[in-house]
Amino acid sequence: MIGAMSSGQGSIANNETGLREVYRGGKAALNQFRRSFAVRQPEPARTLLAMAPGWVRTDLGGSDAPLGVEDSIPRLVNVMLAQFGTPGVQFVDYRGRTVPW
């Protein structure tokens, strides 16, 4: 299993507001690499996740974010454990919800 820290802002489908274009583009590129890696990897397919941690109070997220690291990270770990052994690539958030690419 490999989990990559993406962002909800990497979702092209959900981009209805714009802003932070370079960040969005970087995370969308990460997701694209993730998918390419997934389709090129030999069998048996591993579990590959692009993960959106929610809006988290860090230097990047700022003090207004609703989640602390202590809220987000254990939930991301739980999502990884729940997906362990599922072959293929998914874009999921810290609640285990699928995020549209």
Ligand X SMILES: NC(=O)c1ccc[n+]([C@@H]2O[C@H](COP(=O)([O-])OP(=O)(O)OC[C@H]3O[C@@H](n4cnc5c(N)ncnc54)[C@H](OP(=O)(O)O)[C@@H]3O)[C@@H](O)[C@H]2O)c1
Residues in contact with ligand X by the rule CB under 6 A: 5, 7, 53, 55-56, 58-61, 65
Residue, CB closest to ligand X: 61
| Least Cβ distance, residue 60 to ligand X (angstroms) | 3
Query: Is 92 exposed, middle or buried, given 0-12, 13-18 or 19+ CB atoms closer than 10 A?
Result: buried
| Least Cβ distance, residue 61 to ligand X (angstroms) | 3
| Least Cβ distance, residue 42 to ligand X (angstroms) | 28
Beta strands 88-93 and 2-5 are: unpaired
Q: How far apart are the first and last CA of the chain?
A: 20
